[in-house]
Amino acid sequence: MTPRADATRNRARVLDSAHAVFAEHGLGASTEQIARHAGVGVGTVFRHFPTKEALLSAVLAARLDALADEAETLAAQGESGDGLYRLMRSAVAASSLKTAFAEALQRAGVDVSDAVAPARGRLTNTVGTLLDQAQRAGTARTDIEVRQVFALLVAATHAVTYLDDDPLRERTLDLILSALRP
Amino acid sequence: MTPRADATRNRARVLDSAHAVFAEHGLGASTEQIARHAGVGVGTVFRHFPTKEALLSAVLAARLDALADEAETLAAQGESGDGLYRLMRSAVAASSLKTAFAEALQRAGVDVSDAVAPARGRLTNTVGTLLDQAQRAGTARTDIEVRQVFALLVAATHAVTYLDDDPLRERTLDLILSALRP
């Protein structure tokens, strides 16, 4: 493996580990924990991400990228009309950690809009495709626009956070998503 | 008017004015502005509310009281099945200012749970009555619980905040409330 390929692989590994460690131990987890999880030295983590904010920002962008990848895979599977709902469930499930990242970065005064712009652009496009497929398959109302799908994602995310581990959580998520159905 | 009745009236007037002035000028509005709006001296404002936090906390409690009053009026009007939706619209309309108050108080480290507990208790009870009326009138699904109504309020509030002054805002609120319909 070339040094550059090695560096790229290490960076991806650190990002995956950072996500896993933050998810398990919260945002207070140390660089040492992340390095150990990734099987690299602390120096490697700092070389790729000189500050905690740089690391959080990159993890957030990677998570949005993964969601955009999932959206594109669902859209490529075609016209079942179910992809929109599957993506929305994934987005809601991933949202609490993403919100924690975004809030920590905002408190640190870090503007992440540039870092997440590419993933966000892909997501907006692909959610448009998924909505289109659902509307043609008859699983979504035809008078809905993409902005409303994102508004319902925001809505569902906060409802689920509010209900925390209330047993009504899943039924309430179903209820909110059902608002999109004809 | 007795001195005590006078003090009670002045306190209520300061609270109404504080709400109006904060709504128009933001939470940075001065005590002088509020006193002028209420037609009382600055000393009267400070006598009732020695700190900005005490004033914000009392305004928040008064707003929740007003919402609980409205809920009780709607419940007393009986069985049209429409009261639940009217209350939810009022709650969403009032929410952005209430959220701003609650966030400012949280940043100041003020715990408002005691101040708002009586209004919150009345609201929870009365929303239960309104849900019951809607279910018996056939305007709400019978498998919904009160906690889900509150989760949908949280959801709708955030969706509306997200859409800000997008023309899709009202239609999206309708969409989310429609999730409760049979």
Specify the fold of B1-50: Arc Repressor Mutant, subunit A (1.10.10)
Token code pair at residue B156? 């709708």
Which residue of A152, A154, A162 is in closest CB contact with B151?
A: A162
Handedness of CA B178, A82, A127, A139 (dihedral sign): negative
More confident position, A67 or B111: A67
Q: What is the pLDDT of residue A53?
A: 86
Residues in chain B within 8 Å Cβ distance of A166: 147
Q: What is the pLDDT of residue B27?
A: 84
Q: What is the pLDDT of residue A52?
A: 87
**Numbered residues of chain B with Cβ closer than 8 Å to any chain A Cβ:** 143-145, 147-148, 150-152, 154-159, 162-163, 166, 168, 171-172, 175-176, 178-180
Per-residue pLDDT for B98 more than 90?
no
Q: What is the pLDDT of residue A109?
A: 84
The predicted-structure confidence for A111-148, as pLDDT tens digits, reads as follows 888 888 898 899 999 999 999 999 999 999 999 999 99
**HEC states along A15-64?**
HHHHHHHHHHHCCCCCHHHHHHHHCCCHHHHHHHCCCHHHHHHHHHHHHH
Once rounded to an integer, what is the mean pLDDT over residues B98-110?
82
Q: What is the pLDDT of residue B113?
A: 83
Query: ipTM for the complex?
Result: 0.81
Per-residue pLDDT for A3 more than 80?
no
Q: What is the pLDDT of residue A1?
A: 57
Q: In this complex, do A155 and B158 lie within 8 Å of one another by their Cβ atoms?
A: yes
Q: Where are the domains of chain B?
A: 1-50, 52-178
More confident position, A33 or B26: A33
**Average pLDDT score over chain B:** 90
Once rounded to an integer, what is the mean pLDDT over residues B109-123?
87
Q: What is the pLDDT of residue B1?
A: 57
**CATH superfamily of this structure's domain A52-178:** Tetracycline Repressor, domain 2 (1.10.357.10)
